[in-house]
A = this chain, B = another copy of it.
Amino acid sequence: MSKPLNIGMIGYGFMGKAHSNAYRQAPRLFELPYTPVLKAVCARNADKVKPFADTWGYESIETDWRKLLERKDIDAVDICTPNHLHAEIAIAAAAAGKMVLCEKPLAMNAAEGVQMVQAVEKAGVANTVWYNYRRIPAVSLAKKIIDEGKLGRIFHYRAKFLQDWTINPEVPQGGAGTWRLDVTVAGSGVSGDLLAHCIDTALWLNGRIDTVCALTETFVKERKHALTGQVEKVGIDDACTFFGRFENGSLANFESTRYARGHKALYTFEINGEKASIFWDLHDLHRLQYFDHRDEGKLRGWRSVHVSDNSGEHPYMDHWWVPGLQIGYDSSFTHQVADFLINLGKGQPTSPTFREAYETQLILDAILQSAKTQQWVQVAKG
């Protein structure tokens, strides 16, 4: 029989919605040793969080996250707040003996990150960070292919995350919906927001990054602050590009921006190996492009694999529909919930743990330092 696992969520924005949906979906689509129970959702403003609680069926609300942590009926805390609160809450949650599921990026920087790692490890609580793209079936399939050795020696890893939503200089910084433009809340701009995803996937698929050299730019230098009403200097990076070297000898070329007109969430990665290459694109997340040099010469070409086979060939897809029918972005969270609960049942960690996500923080720190100093930077070892 499946046992209840009581969730206390902090925050109720876009990610709060995505996670809530996943808690609802996972037990319907997967056979799980634990069933998430939406015990409480917490936010400062009761009037705003109440309708959210009603919609998603949270049994109660809290307006002080410290209160939530004190509750005996909460097994796991899900942190969906803006970045600047991750560390404080996560450390307190671990101290209170709660499991912690934290939105990405783990922290504002590596210094915070290391404390968070120490906190959950010392407390011995299950922990994971919502780098959800690992569990898009096409990305999981990429991992499977790589682990089988199909690509051979890797030469290149290329990733981009392109958006266009801040081109308009009238978009404010700070406040709900735009806190990602306020450096005191977000920690950084596209690097922590978008590159963090690219880096997490890369570490998973291609291993450690050794050295980086980066460039950042802030195209719109001043924006009105949504909370103060004042025009203030923009502290975030609007665009961040870096290249570098992986430990396995392959080259990295990563880019992120919110100024690429025509792209909404164009997260793509391509890996070129000696024998085969793969390419993936979030805008068509249900497809994996694959080129195999071992195919017969006259018929070699990039294969567009529709990752929707439900017979066991394609990761997670045996839990969904039938071949040819794609699943949505939300599925990635559902799969992470399912994996977290299955792993919990086995007493195993769920990737990426805080420790694994801390690696991404180290790289982000190195990138920002490189951009500032205009020097190559060696990534610190985690």
Contacts and interface: CB of A to CB of B under 8 A. Distances in A.
Given A158-B255, A261-B272, A304-B302, A285 B330 contact: no
A275 to B, nearest CB: 7
Contacts of A184: none
A224 B157 CA distance: 28
A222 interface: no
A21 B55 CA distance: 16
30 contacts: A25-B25, A28-B57, A141-B298, A145-B298, A145-B299, A155-B239, A165-B323, A213-B374, A215-B251, A217-B251, A259-B272, A260-B272, A261-B291, A262-B293, A262-B302, A264-B308, A284-B326, A285-B326, A292-B299, A297-B309, A299-B305, A300-B303, A303-B303, A320-B328, A320-B330, A321-B329, A325-B328, A326-B329, A328-B330, A328-B331
Interface string A149-161: 0000001101000
Interface in A164-178: 164-165, 167
A69 interface: no
B260 A155 contact: yes
Identical chains bound together, number: 4
Nearest to A376: B374
Given A156-B239, A239-B155, A301 B295 contact: no
B324 A266 contact: yes
A171 B140 CA distance: 30
A287 B264 CA distance: 14
Interface in A298-340: 298-306, 308-309, 311, 313-314, 320-331
B306 A277 contact: no
A343 to B, nearest CB: 21
Contacts of A282: 324-325
Dominant secondary structure at the A interface:
mixed
Contacts of A327: 328-330
B261 A275 contact: yes
A283 B326 contact: yes
A286 B283 CA distance: 9
Given A306-B301, A314-B298, A321 B14 contact: yes
Given A259-B155, A324-B263, A329-B326, A299 B290 contact: yes
B322 A265 contact: yes
Given A21-B25, A262-B272, 15 more contacts: A261-B272, A262-B302, A287-B301, A292-B299, A300-B303, A301-B303, A301-B304, A320-B330, A321-B329, A325-B328, A325-B329, A326-B328, A327-B330, A328-B330, A374-B376
B326 A14 contact: no
Contacts of A24: 24-25, 28
B305 A300 contact: yes
Interface in A195-230: 213, 215, 217, 219
Contacts of A323: 165, 264-265
A257 interface: yes
Give the top 7 A-B pairs by smallest Cβ distance, nearest first. A264-B324, A265-B324, A262-B291, A301-B303, A328-B328, A301-B305, A264-B323
Contacts of A213: 213, 215, 374
A355 B244 CA distance: 34
Given A260-B272, A274-B261, A313 B325 contact: no
Interface in A21-47: 21, 24-25, 27-29
A241 interface: yes
A291 to B, nearest CB: 3
Contacts of A291: 261-262
A28 B14 contact: no
